[in-house]
Amino acid sequence: MSFNEVYITRTASYFPNDPISNEEMEEYLGKINGKPSRSKAIVLRNNGIKRRFYALKKGGAPTHTNAELTAKAIKNLFEKNPAEIKSVELLSCGTSSPDQIMPSHSIMVHGHLPETGPIEVISPAGNCCAGMHALKYAFLSIKAGGVSTAVTAGSERTSRLLTSDTFEDEAQKLSALEENPYIGFEKDFLRWMLSDGAGAFLLSNKPAAEGTSLRIEWIEAASYAHQVETCMYQGNHKEADGTLRSYMDLTPDEIVGKSVMSMKQDVKLLDKHIVQLGYENLRDILAKKNFNINEVDYFLPHLSSELFRKKIATTLEAGGIGIPAEKWYTNLSEVGNIGAGSVYLMVDGLLHSGKLQKGQKILLMVPESSRFSYVYALLTVC
């Protein structure tokens, strides 16, 4: 049985409103207890982000939903020929921050794309890896011949979860932050890191007639939830023994008192596992695929913070699969951490950079700290 080749034939992005500098952030997110954050500068210095985008007005009023952001990125795929969207047979969208528990995120996106008509729609759940899971579903659907054309997307609209009115009082541990920047990740890391936006790919069983296409060679995913407890979570409360209690099993008072609907992260687990498990997963994939890391021309790692760059590089080098710094490509400093959308935005940026040449290999890496999952993918420039 033969399988189709699968190509990313077009990419697009959408960012809400104007870019926001580090100095402007609290004009949008607000000040907790009416006071400027004492740890903001330390966290921003470590994460390396210079600007980001929010689907907010100054003062925190929302301007877009997540579904709207995603739909706008998808429409940008067809900017030159809007009628072409009618050829799409499958819509697959991933996000960490859907606008609602139900209906699903992709269904809501489809609602903003009436010109597509009735099509198959899938919504992978998850965090940063959700965008890659969406891509893999579309990749396999085309490869198996179920459809010939698909749109896949990754997006986030987390800013509304970060505004001052959604946060309980913080303890500002400035001296501790200076000694160990990982402490800042527990709350301020998320508040001064996360950004809004969406990226989209058009996939086909044929390369584009004009311009550059990216052939998807493989997509490999793995979860380590069988051996590590939850690290990042929302909509539940983490007990002392590491188990989670769902919001459905908590009283209304507990939901408010424990700040259950806020995103939280166990920073000690993050520091201990996120890089090491990612290395082990890549090592195993390279062995499975019999692929030499030296064949990679561009490495696109989803970095939640520049703080991790050196640690990833050092760990890969120590394990014999180092990737030279000149092969790395990220846009974290310019767009911020857009979770499930970040890898889409990196690919879009690289594709439109004019740097790519036919035959080059692009390795994508997306880690997810929720319970430590990873997705790697290999693309070939065509």
- For residue range 4-61, list pLDDT tens digits in order: 999 999 999 999 999 999 999 999 999 877 888 877 888 898 899 999 999 999 999 9
The amino acid that residue 344 corresponds to is Y
Q: Which of 7-11, 152-156, 223-227, 236-240 shows the lowest mean pLDDT across its residues?
A: 236-240
What angle, rounded to 10 degrees, do the helices at 267-289 and 307-318 form? 40
Q: Is residue 124 part of a domain?
A: yes
The HSE-up count of residue 171 (CA atoms within 13 Å, CB side) is 5
Residue 157 predicted with pLDDT over 80? yes
* pLDDT tens by residue, 169-223: 444 444 444 444 443 345 556 789 899 999 999 999 999 999 999 999 999 999 9
Element of type H or E holding 276: helix 267-289
Among 204, 222, 246, the domain-final residue is: 204
pLDDT at residue 173, as a whole number: 41
* pLDDT tens by residue, 335-375: 999 999 999 999 999 999 999 999 999 999 999 999 999 99
pLDDT at residue 260, as a whole number: 87
Q: Is residue 209 part of a domain?
A: no
Q: Which of 101-110, 169-178, 233-242, 299-308 shows the lowest mean pLDDT across its residues?
A: 169-178
Do 245 and 290 belong together in one domain?
A: no
CATH number at residue 337: 3.40.47.10
Do 273 and 361 belong together in one domain?
A: yes
Q: How distant, in Å, are the alpha carbons of 37, 97, 158, 232 from that of 341?
A: 27, 11, 12, 17
pLDDT at residue 186, as a whole number: 55
Asked if 76 contacts 200 with a C-beta cutoff of 8 angstroms, the reply is yes
Domain of 84 in residue numbering reads as 7-204
